[in-house]
C-alpha cells in the first residue's frame, strides 16, 4: 500500500467511461481502477449510465448520469473535481467519441487536468472524429493507452502529446469465490472437460464484423472441440443483458452438436468469471476481457481478433493470430488443434509475458497518483 500521508486533503477524482453494468469487461476495468485508487485518500465519482448499479457494484462515494445534464450543469459537476479520468477501455471510436469526449472538453474549460487511462482507440475513419480526438487529447495532462496499436492510431490522427503504452487494468484483478453449486446450476457437472468460448455482437466498435462469417467459424470450431476433445463448450456472454447472449445462441444453432454446448445463465461478477475460467482447460474467444481473464488464470487460449484492441493484446503477448476476416474454418481449427497439442508450452508462454503486462498496468495507476499529487500541490483548495 502506498503511503500518501502528506496529502493536505482527500483528492476528488471523477472517472468517465462506458460504465453502468452492461459490459462485464468495462466493469472489470472500473473495479480495478477503484481498487487501486483506494490505496490513497480519494473521493471517487463515476460518470455512468446507471448510477444505482455503479454504487452497488463498486461502493464509490458518488455516481452520476452526467450525460443527462445540461452543459452548464455538467461543467459544474466536472469542475468540483481535482482530476478527470477518461477510461479505460475501447471508448474512442467513430460514433462514440463525441459522447465520451464531452466531459473532457468540459474539464479543459474548467481547468481540471485530464488523465487518459489505458484506453484503446479505433476505428477512427471519420474526419470529424479524428479532429475531436486530436484536439481533446492534445490538451490532456497525461495520455496512456493499453497497447501499441492505440498509440500508433492516436499518433496517426495527430495527437502530439506523449502517449504512454501501459496495459489493461483488468490484468490486476483477483478472482472472487464461486458458489459451491455454480457448475451444477449451469449444467456443467457432467464430467466432460470444459472449454470456454466468447463471441460478440456487431456494432460501431466492430463495423467490419461479418456476422454470418464469424457465426460459421465459431460453430465449426465449437463442433471440432466437442468431437475432438470430448468437451462441453461454454459460451461466456460478457454483455449478458445485451446481444452477446443472442449471438451465443445463434452460434449454438449453427452447431451440429449443440447438446454439448451451454450458454451461461447465472449472473457473475468479473472476479467470479475469473474463478469460473479456472475450470476451463482451454478457451477460444473474440472479446478482449474474456482473453484477459483466461490469461490471468493461466488458461491456454486462441484469439479470434475482430478489432485493433484484441490484436494489440495478442501482439503484446506475442501470440499472433490473423484478423478474423482472413481466417476460414480449416485454418482456425488447425490453429486450435495445434494450440491444444502445445497447451503446456502456451501456458508457460503466458507465464513469461503476464508479469510484464501487469507491471505496465500498475504503471498507469502510478502515473495517475503522480498527477493527483501535482494537482493538489498546485491548488490545495479546501
Name the CA radius of gyration of the chain, rounded: 21
CA distance 67 to 99: 8
**pLDDT given at position 378:** 86
Cell of 369: 497518483
Query: Does residue 132 contact residue 97 with C-beta atoms inside 8 Å?
Result: yes
Backbone angles phi and psi of 89, in degrees to 5: 100, 175
To the nearest 10 degrees (0 to 180), the angle between helices 343-378 and 288-296 is: 110
Domains present along the chain, CATH in parentheses:
11-172+357-378 (3.40.50.2000), 182-353 (3.40.50.2000)
- Residue 3 has what pLDDT? 44
What is the pLDDT at residue 382? Answer: 46
Q: How far apart are CA 168 and CA 65, in angstroms?
A: 24
Q: What is the pLDDT of residue 2?
A: 45
Count of residues in the chain? 382
Q: Which residues of the chain have pLDDT under 50?
A: 1-3, 382
Write phi, then psi, for 251 (nearest 5 degrees). Answer: -65, -45
Element (H, E) at 115: strand 114-121
Rounded distance between C-alpha atoms, residue 104 and residue 124, angstroms: 18
pLDDT tens digits for range 168-189: 999 999 999 999 999 999 999 9
**Which residues is 115 bridged to in the sheet?**
85, 142
Nearest one of 253, 236, 240 to 199, comparing CA atoms = 236
Residue 295 to residues 119, 128, 314, 353, Cα–Cα distance (Å): 19, 37, 10, 10
Question: For the whole model, what pTM was predicted?
Answer: 0.94
Q: What is the 3-state secondary structure (H, E, C) of 120-181?
A: EECCCCCHHHHHHHHHHHHCCCEEEECCHHHHHHHHHCCCCCCEEECCCHHHHCCCCCCCCC
The most distant pair of C-alpha atoms in the chain lies apart, rounded to whole Å, by 66
Residue 201 confidence (pLDDT): 82
pLDDT tens-digit readout, 269-289: 999 999 999 999 999 999 999
* pLDDT score at 205: 67
CA separation for the pair 103, 273 (Å, rounded): 31
**Contact predicate 303/321, CB 8 Å:** yes
The Cα 154–Cα 123 span in angstroms is 11
Amino acid at each position: 500500500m502506498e503511503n500518501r500521508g502528506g496529502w493536505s486533503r482527500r483528492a476528488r477524482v471523477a472517472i468517465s467511461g462506458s460504465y453502468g453494468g452492461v459490459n462485464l469487461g468495462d466493469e472489470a476495468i472500473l473495479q480495478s481502477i477503484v481498487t487501486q485508487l483506494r490505496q490513497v485518500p480519494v473521493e471517487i465519482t463515476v460518470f455512468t449510465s446507471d448510477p444505482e448499479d455503479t454504487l452497488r457494484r463498486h461502493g464509490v462515494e458518488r455516481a452520476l448520469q452526467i450525460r443527462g445534464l445540461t452543459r452548464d450543469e455538467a461543467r459544474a459537476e466536472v469542475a468540483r473535481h481535482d482530476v478527470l479520468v477518461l477510461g479505460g477501455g475501447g471508448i474512442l471510436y467513430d460514433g462514440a467519441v463525441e459522447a465520451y469526449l464531452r466531459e473532457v472538453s468540459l474539464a479543459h474549460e474548467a481547468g481540471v487536468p485530464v488523465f487518459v487511462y489505458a484506453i484503446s482507440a479505433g476505428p477512427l475513419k471519420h474526419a470529424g472524429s479524428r479532429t475531436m480526438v486530436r484536439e481533446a487529447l492534445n490538451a490532456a495532462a497525461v495520455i496512456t493507452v493499453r497497447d501499441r496499436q492505440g498509440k500508433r492510431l492516436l499518433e496517426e490522427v495527430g495527437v502530439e502529446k506523449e502517449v504512454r503504452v501501459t496495459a489493461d487494468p483488468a490484468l490486476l484483478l483477483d478472482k472472487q469465490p464461486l458458489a459451491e453449486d455454480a457448475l451444477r446450476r449451469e449444467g456443467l457437472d457432467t464430467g466432460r472437460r470444459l472449454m470456454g468460448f466468447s463471441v460478440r455482437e456487431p456494432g460501431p466498435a466492430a463495423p467490419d464484423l461479418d456476422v454470418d462469417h464469424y457465426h460459421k467459424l465459431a460453430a465449426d470450431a465449437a463442433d471440432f472441440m466437442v468431437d475432438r476433445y470430448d468437451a462441453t463448450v461454454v459460451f461466456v456472454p460478457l454483455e449478458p443483458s445485451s446481444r452477446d447472449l443472442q449471438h451465443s445462441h445463434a452460434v449454438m444453432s449453427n452447431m451440429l452438436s449443440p447438446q454439448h454446448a451451454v450458454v451461461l445463465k447465472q449472473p457473475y461478477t468479473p472476479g467470479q468469471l475469473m474463478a469460473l475460467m479456472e475450470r476451463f482447460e482451454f478457451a477460444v474467444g473474440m472479446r478482449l476481457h474474456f482473453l484477459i481473464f483466461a490469461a490471468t488464470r493461466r488458461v491456454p487460449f486462441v484469439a479470434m481478433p475482430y478489432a485493433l484492441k484484441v490484436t494489440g493484446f495478442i501482439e503484446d503477448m506475442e501470440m499472433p493470430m490473423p484478423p478474423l476476416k482472413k481466417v476460414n474454418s480449416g485454418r482456425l481449427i488447425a490453429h486450435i488443434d495445434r494450440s491444444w497439442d502445445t497447451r503446456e508450452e502456451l501456458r508457460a508462454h503466458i507465464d513469461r509475458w503476464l508479469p510484464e503486462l501487469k507491471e505496465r498496468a500498475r504503471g498507469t495507476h502510478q502515473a495517475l497518483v503522480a498527477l493527483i499529487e501535482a494537482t493538489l500541490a498546485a491548488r490545495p483548495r479546501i
